[in-house]
Amino acid sequence: MYNRIFVPVDDSQTSKQALVEACQLAKTMQAGVRLVHVVDLAQFGWGGTEFLDASELQDSIKQAGGQVLEQASQVAREQGVEPEMQILESWGDKISAVLMDDANAWGADLIVMGTHGYSGLMHILMGSVAEGLLKLTDVPVLLVRSQEED
């Protein structure tokens, strides 16, 4: 039985489908749900931003991440689940490592996330957070692949 379901979210349709799946499991198992969204602040933290206010850009990125989380929490509530929410910050770290650190600290016993299922050149260019997470985790992972393109 799963008691703590960890759900990384972004603003894609695939992520929303994974969230709905996680909520269905959570209701069935009476489990807690933690929604997280990772913002990468390193890109504006140093160098090359002489004409921009880096802290203002970082605040804007965090705000956008907060909106992603709020939209995801609304979906969860519509599904009958009251989630915990957290913005996670990356300073150039691999997103999968940031996610795994938080999942472990929270005590997740299941991770549910969407995957775009890219292959070939798109996979090389885009990478895969899901694949990176699978390499790091000993927690069961449920991957939900969208049937539609985002």
pLDDT value, residue 19: 97
Beta bridge partners of 88: 38
Domains and CATH numbers, the chain: 4-145 (3.40.50.620)
pLDDT value, residue 117: 63
Q: What proportion of the chain, given as a percentage, has pLDDT over 90?
A: 64
For residues 22-49, average pLDDT: 85
- Provide the angle, in degrees to the nearest 10, between the axes of the packed helices 54-78 and 13-29: 50
For residue 77, give Cα distances in angstroms to 2, 85, 119.
19, 12, 34
Sheet holding 110-115, edge to edge: 84-90, 32-40, 4-8, 110-115, 141-145
Rounded to whole angstroms, the Cα distance separating 86 from 33 reads 11
pLDDT in tens, 75-99: 999 999 999 999 999 987 889 999 9
